[in-house]
Amino acid sequence: MSDRYRQLLDATLQHVEGLKARGVRHLAVTPETLRALARPPSAAPKVSAAPLKPLGQVRPPATKSVPMPEIPLAAAAARSPAEKVAAYAALRERALACVRCPQLAASRQQVVFGAGSLEASILFVGEAPGAEEETQGEPFVGEAGQLFTKILQAAGLSRAEVYITTLLKCRPAMPGSSADNRKPTPEETAACLPYLYEQIDLIRPQVIVALGATAVEGLLGKTAPISKLRGQWQSHRGTPLMPTYHPAYLLRNPSLQEKRKVWEDLLQVMEKVGMPISDKQRGFFLKA
């Protein structure tokens, strides 16, 4: 059994165990998924054939798909707001105590789980908390986060009315260095992904926005360059997903042209969730 297959299997089992612990007894599974599950691992061709590369090194020339476990959105009946709050608190508690990645559990100051509304229509997913996020215990509050907050404000959104989280809930710090994060490893991603799946299943947003290539790869298994994927609707277990650049990319490339690309992606998201868009908003970041 390949490492890749084992990682996906572990992530799937953790996710299903999490659902079971929450009392879910039925899962909607497509006939194709059932057929794939019935096959022995060695016959699950693409899953075992495509080891997930360290994300920073992934530079394939064209769109390539790494099959992900097709776990449909949890079939649990939509919860009442009170049930959601309780289930969210239980999930958060589990994540805060998580030791699935012993190194990260030992090095972290705290787990950065997510922030915002459980009733959010839009759920944003970044890569992993940085130093500032780890200190404050909230995603996207560092330099890139402040730019992200301004982009939200330009769309007429507050942080409190969307939901913001990251693929990894612990900072993938570099031992002995206070410098930037390193990329999450495939093992860390596989270990943390079930928490994100459960957040999505609980909140049931109308749209997911994946900020940057790492979030896209984690959620879709696609390793195509983000420059190719951005702006094109994808689907994460039935929920429309818009890939766009990470705000840190805009800090490195602050041209009007690149900002406009992110803005156009966000305009599509606003349209999808039925937000009103003014003429002024439509013209943001266009050359004079």
Instruction: Return residues touching ligand URA (CB under 6 A).
Output: 126-130, 133, 139-140, 142, 144-145, 166
Which of 158, 151, 148, 154 is CA-nearest to residue 280? 154
Give min distance, CB of 171 to ligand URA, in A: 9
Give min distance, CB of 175 to ligand URA, in A: 19
Give min distance, CB of 142 to ligand URA, in A: 5
Which CB sits closer to ligand URA, 87 or 190? 190
Which CB sits closer to ligand URA, 121 or 166? 166
Give min distance, CB of 1 to ligand URA, in A: 31
Which CB sits closer to ligand URA, 183 or 237? 183
> Encoding tokens for residue 259?
């900002």
Q: Is 144 exposed, middle or buried, given 0-12, 13-18 or 19+ CB atoms closer than 10 A?
A: buried
> Encoding tokens for residue 35?
């057929």
Cα-to-chain-centroid distance, residue 191: 13
Residue 255 in 3-state DSSP? coil
Give min distance, CB of 236 to ligand URA, in A: 17
Give min distance, CB of 58 to ligand URA, in A: 17
Which CB sits closer to ligand URA, 129 or 194? 129
Which of 246, 122, 128 is CA-nearest to residue 195? 128
Which CB sits closer to ligand URA, 4 or 183? 183
Sheet strand arrangement including 234-236:
115-116, 163-166, 122-126, 207-211, 239-244, 234-236
> Encoding tokens for residue 243?
């890939």
Which CB sits closer to ligand URA, 87 or 193? 193
Which CB sits closer to ligand URA, 2 or 110? 110
In the beta sheet, which residues pair with residue 209? 124, 242
Long-range contacts of range 158-161, CB-CB < 8 Å, 24 or more positions apart? Answer: 159/115, 159/116, 160/116, 160/117, 161/116, 161/117, 161/120
In the beta sheet, which residues pair with residue 208? 123, 241
Give min distance, CB of 261 to ligand URA, in A: 18
Which CB sits closer to ligand URA, 178 or 278? 178
For residues 163 and 124, is the Cβ–Cβ distance under 8 A? yes
Give min distance, CB of 212 to ligand URA, in A: 7
Closest residue to ligand URA, judged by C-beta, is 126
